[in-house]
């Protein structure tokens, strides 16, 4: 039945046919009980509205389905107790592995739950203090790319709009932006820091762009922040890129399909998915030994939203 090696072709086919005729459905619970493997992989992401995670989940689901695994997702909306609950459920349900990017990376209870988690853990761009396979994004190189691109176009005043969440991406981006500015010989100025990536920033962006000496370029987070930024620009009658240049952090359908298309920092999603599946499968099969920590860079997708500074 299960493609075991060393079975006569004839027998195999006879069995398969009989199974089909009888409408036989293998029972996953019995299988899991006996084989001590649920063939279930859990994902815990902070935010289902972030297109990165949605797309990633879709790809992972596809890729892992090929290997016979079912992928489960939980989104915590950043709520601590939902994250704890999700990890507990993953443990109870006997996930064969989990992939996590929680909204809380230092909470002691989360750390403790993860330390005694009974299956392999893959951590995605979070500085959680546990031994686990990990992939982090290179936010410093990314900001160098974005700021460098704008500096080369003559922009000297750049407005960053990233949320100030307490996880790695938020923490790193601000430091990385400042470093990149200094690296380009520029001085960081005003900034907009929404509480979460899903906080609208209409008012704040409008205020930051209404002064006399307004920034000539922006680097903007690609979730809710980008729509409300575009809303503010339309309201101020500022055209992209004639009046202001724009780079999105994280690529999305919105950035690609906007008119004009918006230059964006993009992660190579297929590399991301490959790294995660390769690692997770190796762990499940017991092939991995050393903990793996990799860094993934962003690429700058140059589109039509940046232009030489008018200032």
Rule CB under 8 A: which of 238-267 touch a copy of itself?
Answer: 253-254, 257-259
Residues pairing with 220 in the sheet: 161, 248
**What distance in Å separates the CA atoms of residue 103 and residue 91, rounded to the nearest whole number?**
19
With CB under 7 A as the contact rule, which of the stretches 21-29, 52-60, 240-248, 267-275 interacts with DNA? 21-29
DSSP assignment letter at 296: E
Rule CB under 8 A: which of 209-238 touch a copy of itself?
Answer: 224, 227-228, 230-235, 237
Decide if 218 contacts 238 (C-beta within 8 A).
no
Among 12, 77, 292, 301, interactor with a copy of itself by CB under 8 A = 77
Among 80, 91, 141, 288, interactor with a copy of itself by CB under 8 A = 91
**What distance in Å separates the CA atoms of residue 216 and residue 39, rounded to the nearest whole number?**
52
- Identify what 8 binds: DNA, a copy of itself, none; CB under 5 to 8 Å per kind: DNA
Burial class for 61, CB neighbours closer than 10 Å (0-12, 13-18, 19+): middle
Residue among 186 and 254 whose Cβ is closer to a copy of itself: 254
**Of 103, 129, 119, nearest in space to 44 by CA:** 103
34 near DNA (CB under 7 A):
yes
- Rg of the chain (C-alpha set): 23
For residue 145, give the 3-state DSSP assignment: helix
With CB under 7 A as the contact rule, which of the stretches 18-26, 198-206, 234-242, 278-286 interacts with DNA? 18-26
Residues pairing with 73 in the sheet: 43
Decide if 216 contacts 190 (C-beta within 8 A).
no
18 near DNA (CB under 7 A):
no
Among 148, 154, 188, 200, interactor with a copy of itself by CB under 8 A = 200
Decide if 230 contacts 261 (C-beta within 8 A).
no
Among 20, 35, 237, 290, interactor with DNA by CB under 7 A = 35
22 near DNA (CB under 7 A):
no
27 near DNA (CB under 7 A):
yes
With CB under 8 A as the contact rule, which of the stretches 29-37, 132-140, 151-159, 178-186 interacts with a copy of itself? 29-37
To which residue do tokens 């407005």 refer?
Answer: 159
285 near DNA (CB under 7 A):
no
27 near a copy of itself (CB under 8 A):
yes
Among 73, 151, 181, 272, interactor with a copy of itself by CB under 8 A = 73
**What distance in Å separates the CA atoms of residue 54 and residue 223, rounded to the nearest whole number?**
12
80 near a copy of itself (CB under 8 A):
no
Decide if 147 contacts 181 (C-beta within 8 A).
yes
How many whole angstroms from its chain centre is CA 254? 16
Query: DSSP per residue over 35-47, as a string?
Result: HT---EEEEEES-
Residue among 23 and 108 whose Cβ is closer to DNA: 23
Residues of this chain that bind DNA (CB under 7 A): 1-2, 6-8, 10-11, 24-27, 30-31, 33-36
- For a copy of itself, the binding residues (CB under 8 A) are 23, 25-30, 32-33, 38, 48-49, 51, 54, 57-58, 61, 65, 70, 72-75, 77, 85, 89, 91-94, 116, 118, 198, 200, 202, 224, 227-228, 230-235, 237, 253-254, 257-259
């Amino acid at each position: 039945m299960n493609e075991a090696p060393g079975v006569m072709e004839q027998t195999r086919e006879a069995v398969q046919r009989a199974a089909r005729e009888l409408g036989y459905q293998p029972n996953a619970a019995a299988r899991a009980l006996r084989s001590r493997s649920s063939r279930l992989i859990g994902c815990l992401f902070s935010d289902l509205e972030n297109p990165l995670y949605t797309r990633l989940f879709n790809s992972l689901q596809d890729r892992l389905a090929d290997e016979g695994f079912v992928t489960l997702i939980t989104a915590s909306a950043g709520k601590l107790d939902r994250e704890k609950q999700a990890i507990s459920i993953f443990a109870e349900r006997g996930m064969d592995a989990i992939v996590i990017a929680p909204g809380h990376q230092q909470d002691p209870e989360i750390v403790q739950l993860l330390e005694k988690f009974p299956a392999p853990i893959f951590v995605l761009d979070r500085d959680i203090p546990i031994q686990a396979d990990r992939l982090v994004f290179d936010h410093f190189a990314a900001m160098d790319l974005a700021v460098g691109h704008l500096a080369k176009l003559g922009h000297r005043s750049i407005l960053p709009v990233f949320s100030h969440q307490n996880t790695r991406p938020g923490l790193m981006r601000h430091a990385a932006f400042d470093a990149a500015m200094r690296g380009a010989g520029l001085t960081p100025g005003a900034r907009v820091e929404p509480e979460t990536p899903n906080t609208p920033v209409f008012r704040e962006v409008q205020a930051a762009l209404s002064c006399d000496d307004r920034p000539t370029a922006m680097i903007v987070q690609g979730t809710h922040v980008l729509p409300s930024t575009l809303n503010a620009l339309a309201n101020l009658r500022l055209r992209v890129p004639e009046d202001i240049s724009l780079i999105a952090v994280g690529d999305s359908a919105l950035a690609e399909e906007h008119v004009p298309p918006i230059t964006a920092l993009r992660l190579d999603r297929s590399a991301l998915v490959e790294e995660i599946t390769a690692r997770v499968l190796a762990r499940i099969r017991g092939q991995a030994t050393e903990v793996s920590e990799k860094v993934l860079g962003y690429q700058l997708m140059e589109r039509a939203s940046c232009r030489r500074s008018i200032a």
